[in-house]
Amino acid sequence: MDKPAEDERVALQTPRPDVAQPGAADPWNDEKWQKTKWTVYRDVAYDLGPFFEKHPGGNWLLNLAIGRDCTALMESYHLRPEVATARFRMLPKLEGFPVEAVPRSPRPNDSPLYNNIRNRVREELFPEEGKNKHRMGGDFATCVILGFATFAYTVYAMMPGFLSGMLLGLGGAWIGLTIQHCANHGAMSPSPAVNGVLGLTNDLIGGSSLMWRYHHQVSHHIHCNDNALDQDVYTAMPLLRFDARRPKAWYHRFQQWYMFLAFPLMQVAFQVGDIAGLFTRDTEGAKLHGATTWELTTVVLGKIAHFGLLLGPLLQHSAAAVAAGVVGFTACQGMVLACTFAVSHNVKEAKVVEDTGGEAWERDWGVQQLVTSADWGGKIGNFFTGGLNLQVEHHLFPAICFVHYPAIAKIVQEEAAKLNIPYSSYRTLPAIFVEFWRFVREMGRAEQIGDVLRPRHANPQLA
**130-139 confidence digits (pLDDT tens):** 788 999 999 9
Residue type, 66: I
Predicted local confidence at residue 55, as pLDDT = 82
Can the peptide bond before residue 238 be classed as cis, meaning omega within 30 degrees of 0? yes
Given a cut of 50, whether residue 460 has pLDDT beyond it is: no
Strand-strand pairing, 425-426 and 375-376: parallel
Identify the three-state secondary structure at position 370. Answer: helix
Dist. CA 59–CA 54, nearest whole Å? 9
φ, ψ for residue 240, nearest 5 deg: -125, 140
pLDDT tens, position by position, 168-182: 999 999 999 999 999
Domains of the chain from N-terminus onward: 31-112 (3.10.120), 135-343 (no CATH)
- Give pLDDT tens digits for 81-97: 888 888 888 899 999 99
440 three-state secondary structure: helix
- Could you tell me the sign of the dihedral formed by the alpha carbons of 194, 195, 196, 198, in that order? positive
Q: Which is it for strands 38-41 and 44-47: parallel, antiparallel or unpaired?
A: antiparallel
Say if residue 356's pLDDT is above 80. Answer: no
- For residue 36, how many C-alpha atoms fall within 13 Å in the half-sphere facing its CB? 20
Output the pLDDT for position 362.
Answer: 53
What is the spatial distance between Cα 210 and Cα 296, in angstroms, rounded to a whole number?
7
With a pLDDT cut of 70, the percent of the chain lying above it is 90
pLDDT (0 to 100) of residue 307: 96
Checking if the pLDDT of 206 tops 60, the result is yes
Give the pLDDT score at 353.
55
CA end-to-end span of the chain:
24
Residue 340 has pLDDT above 60, yes or no: yes
Measured CA to CA, the distance from residue 265 to residue 253 in angstroms comes to 20
Average pLDDT, the chain: 88
Strand partners, 380: none
Query: Cβ distance 111 to 366 under 8 Å?
Result: yes
Q: Is the peptide bond before 460 cis (omega within 30 degrees of 0)?
A: no
Query: What CA–CA distances, in Å, run from 124 to 120, 410, 419?
Result: 6, 11, 20
Compute CA 40 distance to the chain's CA centroid, rounded to the nearest angstrom.
21
Whether 161 has a pLDDT exceeding 70, the answer reads yes
